[in-house]
Structure 1
Amino acid sequence: MLRLSPDRSDARFIRRVLILIVIGLAFYALYQAFNILILAFGSVLGAIAIRSLARFFERRGLPHRASVIAGMLGALAAIAFLVWLFTVQFGQQIAQFVTQLPTIIAEIEELMSGSPVGAKIFDAVEQAYAGSRVANDISGLVTGTGTLLLNVLLVVVGSFFLAADPTSYERGLLYLVPKDKREVFAEALDDTGSNLRLWLQAQIILMTTMGVLVGVGLWLAGVPSAAALGLLAGLSEFIPYIGPTVAMIPALGLAATEGPGTLAGAFATYAVVRIIQTNFITPYVQKRVVSIPPAITLFAIIAIGAITGLYGLFFSAALMVVGFTLLRRLYLPEVLGEDVVGKFEPEEKGKRDGSDPERKDDQ
């Protein structure tokens, strides 16, 4: 008698194919919704910044709830200060810089076209930019300012909700983990939050010092819109390696329009500032931050930007901190069984583990 039912091997094969299809669809859905996930991650960073401000006030005797409110007000004040810088204080310089941007690009193209190698580099960069997702996102931001403002508002509101009661969201994540792994996962979350907080503090110091040094140096060199270019240089430090390099290009192009002396002064400014940053500022502010090899950071930032676009590029360094921390705290010890105690640790990790009240404050 002919049997039409599949045997066990066929059933196992079909089940595996279905599992692969479900996994593929899940990854596709995550990729399509990545911008939303990135905005959610931005809210997490904002909440960490607010909680850091709250801890500052709480250590000075302010009650916990009042400290959180003060942290939110401090975050709003910081946003208002940036808006004031862009619109009132440096608005005229920024507008002048934007109007001169086509001239700057033409100057850069003319300088690089003087040699065959320079012309090829400029053409390659232009073609890579034109076909990249980051370029499409930048074009979309230019034509969709309303969408950008809505995304910023979404991140700010999400930050307030997360900062007001982070323990509830952490508890919800822990419910998704098997009971025997919740303690390890909770420790990994705490370590990730601490590393992100320290990374944010280091980035704020780097951004401030670099913005001031570059702005003053370009002003002394006689470069127009020096304050706006200094602000751009400071903000660009949020994206390591890639950001400062991109921010340097318009400054050099604008300096080239003023003559070779101004261009030489701009080159000298960036060279001296980079030496100061590499040898003095960065080693000081990053000695407590999780150490990620520079080559891994550079290529990971490029890969994240190429795959996810502008929003992913903006948060790529912070995503690297999260990924490296979870790799060290979860994957290596729990999956591979590697002993990573004392490895990849910041210099003051022991002090932080013994004195960080972040988790206690949230409970």
Structure 2
Amino acid sequence: MDEQVISRKQADRLYDEVLFSNLTVMGVSILVFIVLYDHVQPYSLLLFSWSFTICVLSSIRLIVLFLYKKHNDILGFTPKKWIIVYTVLSGCVGIVWGLASTFYVLIDNVQINTLFYILISTVIAAAVPVLSASFATFLAYTLPQLVLLTSMSIYQIETTLADKLVYILMFGFIAYYLLMFSMARRANQNLIKSFKLQESNQDLLDQLNDEMLKREELIKERTKALQLSNEKLKASQAHMLKLSRAVESSPNSILIMDEKGTIEYVNKKCEQLSGYSATEMIGQRLESYKSNKMVSAFFDEIWLQVSSDGQWSGEIENRRKDGSFYWVKLYLAAVYDDKQQISHYVAIYEDITESRKLAKKLSFQATHDDLTGLINRTEFERRLSMLVNDAQRVGS
């Protein structure tokens, strides 16, 4: 984890506690002044100066808090510099608190002395949760108090007949400080670990958010692609439906066969023309419905030509389901896939039965008399001319 990030979190934690802790320090210093004022009459000005200094330093720390919160970008201090500033100020406050032990010597009163130990112990205990974000700040604030109060106690022991309670208070205070020292150290280590864990969790959360954003973008892209594909599919389906309806509504019979020539589809017109249902015709071959006059070899030639040329057209005679015959004009074409291989065949039947009957009738009427049914003069002369020509060729 980046040291700069840890420093920033430490600074934030320190300055989050500044307002309440400094107001408390100012309040306690004023309270001490009020309580001790009657006991240090010769030194009341010194007591006032001590309390006033505490309030001034605490006010400066409040000003630093304001600058950190509101004008950090203007000053351009790094988090580490802000911690150093607060540590120096805390050290000054700690020294002034420690100097209060001077009154411990000036006031030869066991109860007041005990009160001093309790007061300093309380101040140190209060500093554990407040200053645990920066262990150096905790030391700067509490060590001067330990050193000065212990020094004054030793001085009192060396220069006066100190009460046994002084020894108990001094060693008890040292033991108490070591306990607070250990607690502050552990709190600082736990806090640093929590900072690292928070940052690690934040990194994971950022990665998760980035991944979610990527997934969302991917989902949007996939959704958009799916919508486009769906639109194309709908358009294709509409187009296929249009073609299907066109094929179904065609006036000609239409058959679709696979690459082997097996029927896969017939339209309604084909069913009507042949008399067979689609179910009956599917799975059969085109030549399955030829008349007896159409030989199988003829269809073999048709398939051979379609395979080579891709198409064939001509007239064939088929047999209906009821046994009757009909003539159709067959258009047979091959359908190729992407690899240019035949995948299907399409056959279109145009019913020419009636047109063939009409043509035959017109041909008969053109060569025969309507009343007698015999050949007319024109046809007689044509045939006679043909016989004469044949006779001349034979004679020659």
TM exceeding 0.5 = no
Higher strand share: 2
With the shorter chain as reference, the TM-score category is under 0.3
TM-score by length of 2: 0.21
Of structures 1 and 2, the one with the larger relative CO (CA 8 A, separation 6+) is: 1
Higher helix share: 1
Larger Rg: 2
TM-score by length of 1: 0.23
